[in-house]
Structure 1
Amino acid sequence: MPMVEVKIKAGRTIEQKREIALRMTEVLVEVCGSARDRVHVIITEVGEDNWGRGGRLLSDIG
């Protein structure tokens, strides 16, 4: 049962998240030989107040 977790900045559309789930699943099926229905994709959206880059929060960078 392959599982992949994707962390992305909050604000992506449902269509974008569907595409991420589809493509991640396709890769794990192809590379690992897993059955499609055994692949789990967890998408975690992180707000800019909870994501830092270069020592600053994204919400402060703008």
Structure 2
Amino acid sequence: KVGGPLTREQRKTIAKEFCGTLARVAGKNIATIYTVFDEVDRDYWAVGEDLLTDKDAKAK
């Protein structure tokens, strides 16, 4: 899961690096790894009591 949208290029890079890590560390076959990107609107996700959008606003 990730808070907010990713670009197609970001998803491709993440999938490549994630698969490489699983292959190297866990000995998994890249052809058998499935990756699902669950892009959650930052207003629908909270850390502790704060929505991510509120944390974003405080950081600005």
Q: Does the TM-score normalized on the shorter chain lie above 0.5? A: yes
- What is the aligned counterpart of 1:14 among 8, 11, 28? 8
Q: Quick check: 1:34 aligned with 2:28?
A: yes
**2:53 alignment counterpart:** 59
Runs (4+) off by over 2 Å:
59-62
**1:3 alignment counterpart:** none
In the TM superposition, what is the alpha-carbon distance from 1:45 to its structure 2 partner?
Answer: 0.5
RMSD between aligned residues: 1.4
- Name the TM-score, length of structure 1 as normaliser: 0.75
1:11 alignment partner, SS class: coil
1:40 alignment partner, SS class: coil
In the TM superposition, what is the alpha-carbon distance from 1:58 to its structure 2 partner?
Answer: 1.8
- What is the aligned counterpart of 1:43 among 37, 42, 46? 37
What stretches of structure 2 of length at least 5 have no aligned partner? none
User: How many equivalent residue pairs?
Assistant: 56
User: What percentage of aligned pairs have identical amino acids?
Assistant: 30
The structure whose residues are more often strand, as a share, is 1
What stretches of structure 1 of length at least 5 have no aligned partner? 1-6
